[in-house]
């Protein structure tokens, strides 16, 4: 779609709802999805958005990762100009310059990042969200849900912006059973437990993604138990995801009748409709290391038993 056509379609979508009268922003659910780079945040968030849109919800997805590819599979693999790049280039920015309607009418926005090596990505997220308020995007589009897809493996205060500065009410973390992903989840728990008591977001729970190894689910469950958190959904590693990505589509769009699509629909309901939250109890460094070692030993024992029985982990 041309830039101009995109602008018209977007304005029409905004106008269509702008007659419904203003909504208070508190009735809108603002949800942040965190996780280590490459763990599946954008894939999971986009499939949640697509599942919600398919069910008739109005959704905005804001990519808060300098990689700026959060919403790609909602828009046939197309790139979107980022808020920060557009601000740097144009000064004055209109909604249609920095957004596009994706699958099911999801409003897609990418905050982008600072010039590499200069500036702070967290400040970039604040700048982008401030601009959305200035453009009255939330009042005009009247979303039911706003999903923020946030890179969370960098131990940097900037990435805490969405949970610290009142942008999101609830945060979820995507993790696999890999230690580095668990380590990043534990860091998010540290940030949530620090900021939640003074009004920051609380934790909705863990989204266990890319599950494949036979021990993966028990490992993530055990981590949740140790940290006083809960797992809200289990997403297996799936070829449907990989194939959808090649076509620039979510599983909801490319394989709507698959088991994986059903899993994302259930996950979307769990994330959005169940408002249960917890205050996590992150593990300290030595406790996390000794927990990891316990699991290393367990996997080794399971592996030996499986090998003896002619299988393999």
Determine, following the binding rule CB under 6 A, whether residue 37 of this chain makes contact with ligand ADP: yes
Is 272 in contact with 29 (CB distance < 8 Å)?
A: yes
Determine, following the binding rule CB under 6 A, whether residue 47 of this chain makes contact with ligand ADP: no
Which CB sits closer to ligand ADP, 39 or 107?
39
Beta bridge partners of 34: 173
Residue nearest ligand ADP by beta-carbon distance: 40
**What binding mask, one character per residue, do residues 199-228 give for ligand ADP by CB under 6 A, x or -?**
----------xx------------------
Residue appearing with tokens 């601009």: 131
Of the residues 41, 65, 149, 169, only one is catalytic, namely: 41
Determine, following the binding rule CB under 6 A, whether residue 238 of this chain makes contact with ligand ADP: yes
Could you tell me how many residues of this chain bind ligand ADP (CB under 6 A)? 16
H or E segment and range at residue 32: strand 29-35
**Of the candidate residues 30, 32, 42, 283, the single one contacting ligand ADP (CB under 6 A):** 42
Residue 289 annotated as catalytic: no
Burial class (CB in 10 A: 0-12, 13-18, 19+), 231: middle
Which CB sits closer to Mg ion, 42 or 250?
42
Which CB sits closer to Mg ion, 42 or 177?
42
Residues 6+ apart with CB under 8 A from 178: none
Determine, following the binding rule CB under 6 A, whether residue 43 of this chain makes contact with ligand ADP: yes
Give, to the nearest 10 degrees, the angle between helix 216-227 and helix 285-308: 160
Residue 194 annotated as catalytic: no
Which CB sits closer to Mg ion, 42 or 278?
42
Beta bridge partners of 99: 109
Determine, following the binding rule CB under 6 A, whether residue 265 of this chain makes contact with ligand ADP: no
Residue 153 to residue 37: CA distance in whole angstroms? 6
Determine, following the binding rule CB under 6 A, whether residue 162 of this chain makes contact with ligand ADP: no
Rounded to 5, what percent of the chain is helix, strand, coil? 50, 15, 35
Residues 6+ apart with CB under 8 A from 73: 42, 43, 46, 244, 245, 248, 249, 250
Determine, following the binding rule CB under 6 A, whether residue 176 of this chain makes contact with ligand ADP: no
Which CB sits closer to Mg ion, 42 or 61?
42
Of the residues 65, 149, 153, 169, only one is catalytic, namely: 153
Determine, following the binding rule CB under 6 A, whether residue 245 of this chain makes contact with ligand ADP: yes
Shortest spacing between CB 232 and Mg ion, in angstroms: 19
**Of the candidate residues 237, 266, 269, 298, the single one contacting ligand ADP (CB under 6 A):** 237
**Of the candidate residues 10, 31, 35, 42, the single one contacting Mg ion (CB under 5 A):** 42
Give the strand pairing for 202-211 and 231-236.
Answer: parallel
Determine, following the binding rule CB under 6 A, whether residue 126 of this chain makes contact with ligand ADP: no
Residue 257 to residue 153: CA distance in whole angstroms? 33
Residue 57 to residues 6, 107, 143, 251: CA-CA distances in angstroms?
21, 11, 8, 18
Is 181 in contact with 35 (CB distance < 8 Å)?
A: yes
Binding site for ligand ADP (CB under 6 A): 35, 37-43, 209-210, 235, 237-238, 241-242, 245
Instruction: List the catalytic residues.
Output: 36, 41, 67, 153
Binding site for Mg ion (CB under 5 A): 41-42, 65
């Amino acid at each position: 779609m041309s830039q101009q056509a995109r602008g018209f379609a977007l304005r029409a979508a905004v106008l269509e709802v702008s007659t419904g009268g203003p909504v208070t922003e508190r009735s809108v659910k603002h949800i942040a999805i965190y996780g280590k780079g490459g763990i599946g945040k954008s894939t999971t968030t986009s499939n949640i958005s697509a599942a919600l849109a398919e069910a008739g919800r109005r959704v905005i997805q804001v990519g808060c990762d300098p990689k700026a590819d959060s919403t790609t599979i909602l828009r046939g693999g197309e790139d979107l100009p980022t808020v920060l790049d557009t601000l740097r280039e144009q000064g004055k920015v209109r909604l249609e310059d920095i957004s596009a309607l994706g699958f099911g009418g999801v409003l897609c926005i990418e905050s982008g990042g600072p010039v590499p090596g200069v500036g702070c990505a967290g400040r970039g997220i604040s700048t982008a969200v401030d601009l959305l308020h200035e453009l009255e995007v939330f009042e005009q589009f009247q979303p039911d849900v706003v999903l923020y897809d946030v890179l969370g493996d960098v131990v940097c205060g900037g990435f805490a912006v969405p949970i610290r500065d009142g942008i999101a009410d609830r945060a979820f973390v995507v993790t696999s059973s890999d230690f580095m992903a668990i380590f990043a989840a534990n860091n998010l728990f540290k940030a949530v437990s620090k900021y939640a008591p003074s009004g920051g977001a609380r934790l909705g729970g863990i989204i266990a993604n890319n599950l494949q190894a036979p021990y993966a689910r028990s490992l993530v469950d055990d981590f949740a138990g140790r940290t006083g958190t809960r797992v809200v959904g289990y997403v297996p590693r799936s070829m449907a995801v990989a194939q959808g990505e090649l076509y620039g589509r979510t599983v909801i769009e490319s394989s709507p009748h698959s088991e994986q699509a059903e899993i994302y629909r259930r996950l979307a309901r769990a994330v959005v409709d169940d408002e249960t939250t917890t205050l996590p109890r992150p593990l300290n460094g030595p406790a996390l290391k000794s927990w990891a070692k316990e699991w290393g030993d367990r996997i080794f024992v399971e592996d030996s038993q499986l090998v003896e029985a002619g299988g393999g982990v």
